[in-house]
Amino acid sequence: MARIGISQYDVEKAYKSLTSQGVNNPSIDAIRAELGNTGSKTTISKYLKDIKKTRTNGTLTEVKVSDAIGHLVSQLAARLNAEANKTIEDMEQAFENERQAWNQEKSGLEESLSQATEQNKALSENIHSLQAKLNTASRESEQLNIELQGIQSDLKELTAVCRQKDERIIDLEKSLQHSYDNLSHFRESAKEQRDQQERKHAEEVSGLRAEQRKLGQTIASQQSELTQLNRQNAELITEKRLLAKSQRELQNSLKTLTEKVQSASTDREELLAQLDAITKENNELNTSVVQLEHEIEELKSPKKLAKNRK
């Protein structure tokens, strides 16, 4: 710990020490060196003059007890003053440290506030942008719903047309079957009559031939009607295929629009469920059409015709 100031007592003690070592009239520098190089030369010079004044017959007067007490009091006061100054300095340093820390914290908070303000501004801009996109998506969704309703209406009309065509095909198939039955009946009748006429007399041959010609004309008429029915049936099958192709194209368009509706709004689940039901019904209709076509092809096959003729 550094020495706190010097007193006259210290200077006098150093003076006595130097004189006892044989140093006569010690200088200020010598006394300062004896004090451990402490104290100012001005203070040492002042105390040294007072000490020299008190010298009598070459010796120093004894320091009075009151001077020693005064020295201790001054030394204690100096120490207390130094400690008080040290405490004040520590408090000032602590306050300065706290002030710097507070300033740093304040700067950090101001920077955080600035960043938060910027983020809030960016978020507000994002919200406005998202709101604009949402409005656009809503308008697109409404337009897609309108288009979807139009396609559904077209699909219903096409389904009704397909149903009518199916009914027409069924009627034609019934007519075709009826013609086949009539033809078989005429052939059987002709065969029976021919068998009967073969057992009759030769004079009845001419009448039989006339009746055969009549039956032949009837068969030709029935065959012509059957050919006409087959032609109409082929035209209906071709038209049915074209309608099925149009239906598939509408289904593809419907599927594309459905995907757009799904991306625009997840609230269209009920509409999609209805669309799936319509698609399923169309698939069932296509299956029925394929089955009818298959049955018609079977009816038109040579084996089936040969079987019916028998």
| pLDDT higher than threshold 80 for residue 3 | no
36 phi, psi to nearest 5 deg: 85, 30
The pairing of beta strand 59-60 with beta strand 55-56: antiparallel
| For residues 282-296, average pLDDT | 85
pLDDT above 90 as % of the chain? 1
Q: Which residue has the higher pLDDT, 215 or 26?
A: 26
The DSSP result for 108-133, as a single string, is HHHHHHHHHHHHHHHHHHHHHHHHHH
Q: 265-282 burial by CB neighbour count: b if 16+ within 10 A, else e?
A: beebeebeeebeebeeeb
Highest mean pLDDT out of 25-29, 61-65, 90-94, 186-190 = 25-29
For 63, the 3-state DSSP assignment is: coil
Q: What pLDDT band is residue 307 in, cutting at 50, 70 and 90?
A: low
Put simply, whether the predicted model's pTM sits higher than 0.85 gets the answer no
pLDDT above 70 as % of the chain? 85
- The token pair at 240 is 């049915």
Contact 227, 183 (CB under 8 A): no
Rounded to 5°, the CA angle 174-180-183 comes to: 140
228/3 Cα distance (integer angstroms): 139
| pLDDT higher than threshold 50 for residue 63 | no
Q: Which residue has the higher pLDDT, 309 or 185?
A: 185
Contact 186, 215 (CB under 8 A): yes
Q: What pLDDT band is residue 57 in, cutting at 50, 70 and 90?
A: very low
* The dihedral formed by the CA atoms of 71, 73, 78 and 83, expressed in degrees to the nearest 10: 140
205/193 Cα distance (integer angstroms): 12
- What would the pLDDT profile of 233-264 be if each residue is shown by its tens digit? 788 788 888 888 888 888 888 888 777 767 76
The DSSP result for 1-43, as a single string, is -------HHHHHHHHHHHHHTT-SS--HHHHHHHTTS-S-HHH
- What would the pLDDT profile of 167-222 be if each residue is shown by its tens digit? 888 887 887 788 778 877 877 877 888 788 778 767 776 776 787 788 788 878 87
Average pLDDT over all residues of the chain: 79
Query: Inter-axis angle of helices 65-199 and 8-20, to 10 degrees?
Result: 110
Q: What pLDDT band is residue 2 in, cutting at 50, 70 and 90?
A: very low
What pLDDT does residue 122 have?
87
Q: What pLDDT band is residue 302 in, cutting at 50, 70 and 90?
A: low
